[in-house]
C-alpha cells in the first residue's frame, strides 16, 4: 500500500482461517495497517486432501497452500519461524530463531497436533501433523516397503482421520505392489463414534477389504521401538507406528498464561477474541469456543474466516464486532483409500443422511479442488491510481499532529528519522547509552586500512532478514579481497510510517545488521537514518589485511581454475517474488544461500594461495569475470552446464523471467564466444544480478580439488586462458 503504516496486525500460523482472511484483505485492504504472517512451514496443507495425497491421487503442490507466494501477492510480510511464547500485556511475540516481534493486534491459527503425552510416543512414533513432516516420512516408508525392509504399519487412533490415513496407505502400497500388514489401533470400543451406523458399516467393509486388522479397546499406556503396550497388558508389534490420536494444542499457548481449556486450546468469546485480551484473536482448531463448543474440524475454520476478517478490521477502527455462530452439524465426507468415499449429513430431529460410492469421492474431489483453486489461481492485482488515505482512527493521539503525507513531508535534513527513534533503538540493542558524534575516530593501526561501500534496496519485506542480507552482501567486498572486517557505519532509509512502527522497523533491521557484524568481528560505529519511499540499507566498511595479504582481481594466470562459491539465480528468484511467482520451497533454498557468509570461503582461498578473487553481485557472473579478465590481461572459459543454480532459477528463466538489471548486464556479451549452440535460458543466468553472491576465484590447478575448497562450497566452473587479442574474451562451453 502506498500509505504510511500505523498499526501492526500479526497472523500467527497459516491455517485455513488465516489463508482466507489474507485473501479477503488483499481484495479489500485497509491503508495504514501492516500485515505480517508468521509460520514455521512455508507450505500449509489442506487437511481435506491429505488422504488423497497419501493415496497418490494428488501431488504435494495440489494439496498445499504456498504461504510466501500468497503473502507476496497480498502485500503481506512473510516470516518463516515458530512462535514460542506470547506476552499479551506487552503485546510481544517470542520466536525460536529471531528477536521478538511487537504487535498491535494478533490472531492465532496454528491448528492442532496429535496428543503425544503417552510415554514413548514422541520417540518411537510419527505424528500425522505437521503434515509436511509426515509426508516426508511416508515417502521413506514407501521406499522401505519397495525394498522389502518394512513389513508392518500400525496407525493409532479411532477417529475419521486415522481411518482415512490407514485406508489411503493400504491403497497406495497395494498400487505400488508392496502390500504390508496394516493395523488400526483404537482405545474405543467402536470406530467413528458420532457417525451413523451405515457410515461405520461402509468403513468396516473397506477396512476388511484391504485386510486391515482393527484392535478395539486397546488403550495404549506406553510406546517402545516397534511395540505398543496397552493398559490391560496386551501388546502389539509393528515396524512403523503412525500417531493419529485426539488433537492437542501447542504447549506455548497455555505456558504464556492465557486462559485455555483442559487440553490447552485457547478459550475465545463468540467474537473470536481471547477471554481476557481484546487484541488477541484465535480461529481454527486452536480456538476453544467456550459458549458453543464444537469438535475440531476444518469446516469451522473456513466459516470463521469472514467473521475474523470483519472483527480484526472492526477492532482496529473501534467499530462493533460480530459473533461467530457455528452450525450444529455439517457434511462430513470420508475417503476410503481408492477413489470412493462415504459420508453423512445431519438432519433435523436427530436424523442423518448417509451416502457412499465413487460418485461421493468425485463430489468430495470437486469441493476440495474448488477450495484450493482460490489459492493456486491468484487473480492479478491492480495498482491503485491515487495515494491511499489512512483512516484517522488508526493513528495514535500523540502522532495525529504530525504530517503523515509522504508527498508533503520535508525532504533534505527534515527527512531524517527523529532523534528519539534512533537513540532508543540503538540503546535497546547495544545496551549502552547512545552518544552521537559528527565523526568517529578509528583505531590507530599499523596495517593499511581499506574501505568499501555498498547499498541495496530491500528485496524481501522482512527488516531483520534484510538487515542480515544487506550486511553479508556488503561484507563480501572485503572478504573477496582477503581483508578482515574492522568497522562499519550504516545509512538507513525507512519507509514513511508512524513513529512507533518506525521504531519497530529500525530495531528489527539493526538487530539483523549487528548479528552479522558481530559474527564477522566487525565493530559498529554508528550511522545515519532518513525517510524514503522504501526500505534500503547502505554500509561503509573498513577492513585490514589478513595473514594472506590483499587479494586483488588482477592476479589471474593462464591455467588457473575458476571456482564459484554459491549458486546463481538470486536475481530471477527475487524478481519472481515481486510478481508473486516464487514458490515457498524455492524461497527457502534461496534464503539459505543468501544467509551463507563468504567468510569461510575466503579463508579457504587464502589457505590454498588463490591468485585472484571477486564477489559475484550486481554485474552477474559473466560481468564480474570479464572485469577480472580485463584486470589480469587474460581470457577465460566457462562450462555452462557446470555452473550451479538455485532451485527454480532455470524454470523461471525458461518462463522468460528476468531481473530488471539483466538487459544492462547482457550488453557485456560482446566479449562472449559460444563454442556451440547452448541453452539460452541457462545462458541468461550468467548475466543475472546476484544479491549476496558467492566468491569467484582463480586458483592454481594443482589445488583446485583441495578438500577445504569443496567444504567451503566451491565448484569448478571454468579456467583461465592466455589472452587471444587486445580485448579479453570469455568462451562458453555447453
Residue among 37, 222, 46 at smallest CA distance from 129? 46
Helix (H) or strand (E) holding 224, with range, is strand 220-224
* DSSP designation for 553: G
Are 436 and 526 spatial neighbours (Cβ–Cβ below 8 Å)? yes
Measure the CA–CA gap between 92 and 108, rounded to whole angstroms: 13
Are 541 and 474 spatial neighbours (Cβ–Cβ below 8 Å)? yes
Task: Give 487's strand partners.
Answer: 523, 542
DSSP strands (E only) in 462-507: 483-495
In degrees rounded to 5, what are phi and psi of residue 208?
Answer: -65, -40
Q: What is the DSSP string of 383-442?
A: PPSSPPPPPGGGS-GGGTTS---TTTS--GGGGBPPHHHHHHHHHHHHSS-----SS-PP
Active-site residue set:
413
Residue among 576, 547, 542 at smallest CA distance from 650? 576
Measure the CA–CA gap between 537 and 527, rounded to whole angstroms: 11
Measure the CA–CA gap between 37 and 427, rounded to whole angstroms: 28
**Cβ atoms within 10 Å of 342's Cβ, excluding its own:** 27
> CA angle 479-485-487, nearest 5°?
145
Phi-psi region of 192 (alpha: psi -120 to 50; beta: other; left: phi over 0): left
**Cβ atoms within 10 Å of 174's Cβ, excluding its own:** 15
Measure the CA–CA gap between 222 and 238, rounded to whole angstroms: 14
Residue among 73, 133, 104, 130 at smallest CA distance from 11? 104
Are 451 and 541 spatial neighbours (Cβ–Cβ below 8 Å)? yes
Residues in the chain: 734
Residue among 350, 270, 312 at smallest CA distance from 10? 312
In degrees rounded to 5, what are phi and psi of residue 198?
Answer: -70, -35
> CA angle 82-462-110, nearest 5°?
25
Long-range contacts, 413-420 (Cβ 8 Å, 24+): 415/530, 415/531, 415/532, 416/528, 416/529, 416/530, 416/531, 417/492, 417/494, 417/502, 417/506, 417/529, 417/530, 417/531, 418/499, 418/502, 420/499
* DSSP designation for 5: B
Amino acid at each position: 500500500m502506498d500509505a504510511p503504516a500505523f498499526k501492526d496486525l500479526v497472523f500467527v500460523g497459516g491455517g485455513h482461517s488465516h489463508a482466507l482472511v489474507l485473501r479477503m484483505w488483499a481484495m479489500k485492504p485497509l491503508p495504514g495497517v501492516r500485515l505480517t504472517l508468521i509460520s514455521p512451514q512455508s507450505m500449509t496443507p489442506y487437511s481435506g486432501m491429505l488422504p488423497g495425497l497419501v493415496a497418490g491421487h494428488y501431488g504435494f503442490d495440489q494439496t498445499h497452500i504456498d504461504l510466501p507466494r500468497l503473502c507476496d501477492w497480498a502485500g503481506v510480510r512473510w516470516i518463516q519461524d515458530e512462535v514460542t511464547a506470547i506476552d499479551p500485556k506487552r503485546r510481544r511475540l517470542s520466536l525460536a530463531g529471531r528477536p521478538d516481534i511487537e504487535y498491535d493486534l494478533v490472531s492465532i491459527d496454528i491448528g492442532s497436533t496429535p496428543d503425544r503425552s503417552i510415554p514413548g510416543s514422541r520417540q518411537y512414533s510419527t505424528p500425522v501433523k505437521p503434515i509436511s513432516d509426515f509426508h516426508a516420512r511416508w515417502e521413506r516408508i514407501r521406499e522401505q516397503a519397495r525394498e522389502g525392509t518394512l513389513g508392518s504399519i500400525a496407525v493409532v487412533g479411532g477417529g475419521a482421520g486415522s481411518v482415512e490415513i490407514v485406508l489411503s496407505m493400504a491403497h497406495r502400497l497395494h498400487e505400488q505392489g508392496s502390500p504390508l500388514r496394516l493395523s488400526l489401533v483404537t482405545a474405543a470400543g467402536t470406530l467413528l463414534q458420532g457417525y451413523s451406523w451405515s457410515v461405520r458399516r461402509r468403513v468396516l467393509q473397506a477396512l476388511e477389504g484391504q485386510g486391515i486388522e482393527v484392535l478395539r479397546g486397546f488403550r495404549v499406556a506406553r510406546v517402545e521401538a516397534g511395540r505398543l503396550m496397552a493398559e490391560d497388558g496386551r501388546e502389539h508389534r509393528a515396524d512403523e507406528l503412525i500417531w493419529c490420536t485426539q488433537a492437542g494444542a501447542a504447549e506455548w499457548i497455555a505456558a504464556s498464561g492465557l486462559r485455555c481449556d483442559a487440553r490447552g486450546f485457547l478459550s475465545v468469546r463468540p467474537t473470536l477474541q481471547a477471554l481476557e485480551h481484546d487484541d488477541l484473536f484465535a480461529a481454527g482448531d486452536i480456538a476453544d469456543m467456550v459458549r458453543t463448543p464444537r469438535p475440531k474440524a476444518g469446516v469451522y475454520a473456513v466459516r470463521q474466516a469472514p467473521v475474523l476478517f470483519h472483527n480484526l478490521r472492526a477492532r482496529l477502527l473501534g467499530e462493533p464486532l460480530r459473533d461467530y455462530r457455528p452450525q450444529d452439524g455439517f457434511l462430513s465426507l470420508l475417503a476410503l483409500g481408492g477413489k470412493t468415499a462415504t459420508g453423512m449429513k445431519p438432519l433435523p430431529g436427530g436424523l442423518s443422511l448417509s451416502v457412499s460410492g465413487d460418485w461421493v469421492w468425485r463430489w468430495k474431489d470437486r469441493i476440495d479442488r474448488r477450495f484450493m483453486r482460490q489459492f493456486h489461481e491468484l487473480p492479478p492485482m491492480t495498482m491503485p491510481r491515487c495515494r491511499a488515505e489512512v483512516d484517522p482512527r488508526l493513528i495514535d493521539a500523540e502522532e495525529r499532529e504530525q504530517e503523515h503525507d509522504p508527498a508533503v513531508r520535508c525532504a533534505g535534513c527534515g527527512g531524517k528519522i527523529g532523534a528519539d527513534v534512533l537513540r532508543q533503538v540503538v540503546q535497546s540493542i547495544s545496551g549502552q547509552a547512545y552518544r552521537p558524534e559528527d565523526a568517529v575516530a578509528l583505531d590507530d593501526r599499523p596495517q593499511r586500512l581499506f574501505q568499501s561501500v555498498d547499498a541495496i534496496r530491500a528485496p524481501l519485506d522482512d527488516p531483520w532478514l534484510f538487515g542480515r542480507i544487506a550486511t553479508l552482501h556488503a561484507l563480501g567486498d572485503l572478504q573477496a579481497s582477503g581483508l578482515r572486517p574492522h568497522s562499519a557505519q550504516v545509512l538507513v532509509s525507512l519507509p514513511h510510517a508512524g513513529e512507533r512502527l518506525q521504531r519497530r522497523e529500525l530495531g528489527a533491521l539493526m538487530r539483523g545488521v549487528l548479528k552479522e557484524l558481530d559474527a564477522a568481528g566487525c565493530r559498529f560505529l554508528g550511522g545515519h537514518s532518513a525517510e524514503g519511499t522504501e526500505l534500503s540499507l547502505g554500509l561503509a566498511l573498513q577492513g585490514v589485511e589478513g595473514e594472506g595479504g590483499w587479494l586483488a582481481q588482477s592476479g589471474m594466470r593462464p591455467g588457473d581454475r575458476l571456482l564459484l562459491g554459491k549458486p546463481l539465480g538470486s536475481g530471477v528468484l527475487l524478481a519472481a517474488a515481486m510478481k508473486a511467482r516464487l514458490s515457498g520451497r524455492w524461497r527457502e533454498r534461496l534464503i539459505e544461500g543468501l544467509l551463507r557468509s563468504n567468510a569461510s570461503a575466503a579463508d579457504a582461498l587464502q589457505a590454498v594461495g588463490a591468485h585472484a578473487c571477486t564477489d559475484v553481485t550486481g554485474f552477474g557472473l559473466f560481468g564480474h569475470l570479464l572485469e577480472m579478465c580485463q584486470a589480469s590481461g587474460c581470457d577465460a572459459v566457462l562450462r555452462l552446464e557446470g555452473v550451479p543454480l538455485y532451485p527454480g532459477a532455470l524454470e523461471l528463466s525458461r518462463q522468460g523471467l528476468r531481473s530488471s538489471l539483466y538487459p544492462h548486464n547482457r550488453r557485456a556479451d560482446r566479449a562472449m564466444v559460444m563454442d556451440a549452440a547452448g541453452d539460452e535460458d541457462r545462458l541468461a543466468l550468467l548475466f543475472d544480478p546476484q544479491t549476496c553472491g558467492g566468491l569467484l576465484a582463480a586458483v592454481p590447478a594443482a589445488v583446485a580439488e583441495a578438500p577445504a575448497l569443496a567444504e567451503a562450497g566451491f565448484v569448478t566452473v571454468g579456467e583461465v586462458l592466455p589472452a587471444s587479442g587486445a580485448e579479453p574474451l570469455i568462451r562458453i562451453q555447453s
